[in-house]
């Protein structure tokens, strides 16, 4: 028996959601370690935007370190995280001004990043995936099938 919160999605969409969930965890724990290291430096000049911009390049090695499945780590950063750099810096700076403690500020930021950089934007991305999948399923029920590139109609 399905609960009222159950949504029927294609196997491809369900697999994509699982991959994104796994990737989110990998990215969070990777950055949690980075933030912890930054806290131990006791240098208040570092900002989240500096870190994210550095890791947004393929040369940083983040793709090999995290080995995400759905898209590369640099793609996640560019698509989901980098548009919010100003907000991340603002949250970090506010915490540092309040506590004057670099280690505590990065610890706070790790939690902030988990919610605002991983959970919320990844949930929005998955909702959009589900909406798009629902459209494809509705069309399939009408006998119209789209190829994986979404451009070709197969009747």
The DSSP secondary structure of 121-133, one letter per residue, reads: HHHHHHHHHHHHH
Q: What is the mean pLDDT of residues 103-117?
A: 97
- Residue 112 predicted with pLDDT over 50: yes
Q: What is the mean pLDDT of residues 4-18?
A: 85
Please give the residue range of the domain that contains residue 67.
11-154
pLDDT at residue 139 in the model? 77
pLDDT in tens, 117-136: 999 999 999 999 999 888 87
Element (H, E) at 18: helix 11-41
**Global pTM?**
0.83
60 and 76 Cβ atoms separated by less than 8 Å: no
Residue 15 maps to a domain = yes
Residue 4 maps to a domain = no
Number of domains in the chain: 1
Residue 6 maps to a domain = no
Q: What is the mean pLDDT of residues 101-118?
A: 96
pLDDT band for position 154 (cuts 50, 70, 90):
low
């Amino acid at each position: 028996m399905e609960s009222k919160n159950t949504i029927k999605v294609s196997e491809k969409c369900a697999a994509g959601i699982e991959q994104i969930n796994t990737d989110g965890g990998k990215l969070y724990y990777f950055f949690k370690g980075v933030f912890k290291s930054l806290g131990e430096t006791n240098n208040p000049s570092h900002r989240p935007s500096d870190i994210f911009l550095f890791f947004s390049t393929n040369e940083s090695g983040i793709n090999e370190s995290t080995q995400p499945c759905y898209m590369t780590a640099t793609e996640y950063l560019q698509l989901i995280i980098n548009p919010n750099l100003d907000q991340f810096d603002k949250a970090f700076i506010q915490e540092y001004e309040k506590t004057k403690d670099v280690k505590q500020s990065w610890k706070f930021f790790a939690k902030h990043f988990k919610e605002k950089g991983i959970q919320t934007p990844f949930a929005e991305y998955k909702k959009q995936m589900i909406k798009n999948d629902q459209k494809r399923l509705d069309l399939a029920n009408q006998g119209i099938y789209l190829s994986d590139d979404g451009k070709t109609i197969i009747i």
